[in-house]
Amino acid sequence: MNATGSQTHHRALERLYAAAPVNALFESRCEILGEGQARIAFTIDERIYHAAGAAHGTVYFKMLDDAAFYAANTLVTDRFLLTTSFNLHFTKPVRHGEVVAEGRWVSGRKRVFVAESRLVDADGDEIGRGTGTFMKSRIALSTLPGYSAPASG
């Protein structure tokens, strides 16, 4: 894929992230940095706390999975990837502020892809890490809300 085609695909993936209904529940944004690289920034506050007053593990999973998924999907321009497995490790609780999930493609280019991600808090400390396996689905990216080019007006 040429540079223009890559940029078009990357911006479309960012729109796809923004259009996903689940992301209306989280203050977050996705940035595709290049082939095999994605960054997702989240704002953590008390709305997503567990009973002991820190971000619930489901949010860690979402952040790690999203960053790894989008890093992997940069290599696939026709199909939506599906997470088939994901391993995660929690290393530090987080209570507030911005957390950045950094995703990086590791291997695979045909049907199965492996990507890893890590979470970094506002102090620069790693608070979690994960590795996912993703598989091409039958779902065409072009059929998904947000992926297609925005209407010019």
Q: Which of 112, 123, 15, 88 is nearest to 7 (CA)?
A: 15
**Residue range of the domain that includes 14:** 3-143
Q: Is residue 101 part of a domain?
A: yes
Cα–Cα distance for residue pair 47/109, rounded to 1 Å:
38
- Tens-place pLDDT, residues 1-35: 677 889 999 999 999 999 999 999 988 999 999 99
Query: CATH number, domain at 110?
Result: 3.10.129.10
Mean pLDDT of 64-90: 97
Q: Is residue 15 part of a domain?
A: yes
* Residue 65: strand, helix, or coil: helix
Residue 72 or residue 27, greater confidence = 72
Mean pLDDT of 131-149: 94
Q: Is residue 94 part of a domain?
A: yes
Q: Which amino acid belongs to residue 38?
A: A
Q: Provide the pLDDT for residue 42.
A: 96
| CB crowding 13-35: b at 16 or more within 10 Å, else e | bbbbbeeeeebeebebebebeee
Cα–Cα distance for residue pair 18/38, rounded to 1 Å:
14
Q: Is residue 108 part of a domain?
A: yes
Q: Is residue 87 part of a domain?
A: yes
CA 77, 80, 82, 88 dihedral sign is positive
* Residue 148: strand, helix, or coil: coil
Give the count of domains, the chain.
Answer: 1
Q: Is residue 152 part of a domain?
A: no
State pTM to two decimals: 0.93
